Amino acid sequence: MSDVYLRGNMSRYILLILLIIVRLTAAAGSPDSPCRGCMECCVPPVALRTNMISDLALIPNIGITVPLGNRWAVDLSWSYAWWSNNMRHRYWRTYGGHAEIRLYPGNRDNKNRLEGHHLGVYGQMVTYDFEFGGKGRMGPKWSAGGGIAYGYTLPIGQRLSLDFTIGIGYLGGKQYRYYPTGGRYVWESTRNINYIGPTRCEISLVWLIGKGNVNPSKIRQE
The CATH number covering residue 42 comes to: 2.40.160.20
39 dihedral zone (left: phi>0; alpha: psi -120 to 50; beta): alpha
In whole angstroms, what is the distance from residue 219 CA to residue 189 CA?
58
Average pLDDT for the chain: 83
**pLDDT reading at 3 higher than 50:** no
pLDDT in tens, 182-218: 777 888 899 999 999 999 999 999 999 998 899 998 8
- pTM (2 d.p.): 0.78
In whole angstroms, what is the distance from residue 3 CA to residue 214 CA?
40
34 dihedral zone (left: phi>0; alpha: psi -120 to 50; beta): alpha
| pLDDT (0 to 100) of residue 84 | 76
Identify the domain containing residue 124 by its residue range. 3-218
Radius of gyration of the chain (CA): 20
Q: Specify the number of domains making up the chain.
A: 1
Closest CA to 220 of 17, 5, 53, 26: 26
Q: Is the CB of residue 208 less than 8 Å from the CB of residue 55?
A: no
Phi, psi (degrees; rounded to nearest 5) at 75? -120, 125
pLDDT in tens, 75-120: 999 999 988 776 666 788 899 999 999 999 988 888 899 999 999 9
| Among the ranges given (11-20, 134-143, 165-174), the one the predictor scored with the smallest mean pLDDT | 11-20
In whole angstroms, what is the distance from residue 141 CA to residue 35 CA?
43
pLDDT in tens, 118-160: 999 999 999 999 888 778 899 988 999 999 999 999 999 999 9
